[in-house]
Amino acid sequence: MQATVFSQDAGSGAQVVTDDGVAYQVSDEVVAASGLRFLRAGQRVSIRLEDAHVTRLWIVGIGEGETIR
């Protein structure tokens, strides 16, 4: 699923908004596991949801097993 970073606060994770306009909190653990050092407001990301919780966040082309083209 595609989303846009709304905000990030070091130590408390980030908030993203999906293309459908639904906001989700992303835990600091999920942000850290993404391998991304910084997120910026407006940045496009992909997310995986399980039970309405973000369990994975990545940038297309930099995700697990993906190559940048």
Non-local (6+) Cβ contacts of 20 within 8 A are none
- Compare 64 and 17 and report the one with higher pLDDT: 17
Q: Residue 67's pLDDT is what?
A: 58
Q: Quote the pTM value.
A: 0.83
**Spans of all domains in the chain:** 2-58
- Does the pLDDT value for residue 1 go beyond 60? yes
> CA dist 44 to 58, 62, 66, Å?
9, 12, 16
Please say if the pLDDT value at position 69 is more than 60: no
pLDDT band at 11 (very low <50, low <70, confident <90, very high): confident
| pLDDT at position 66 | 63
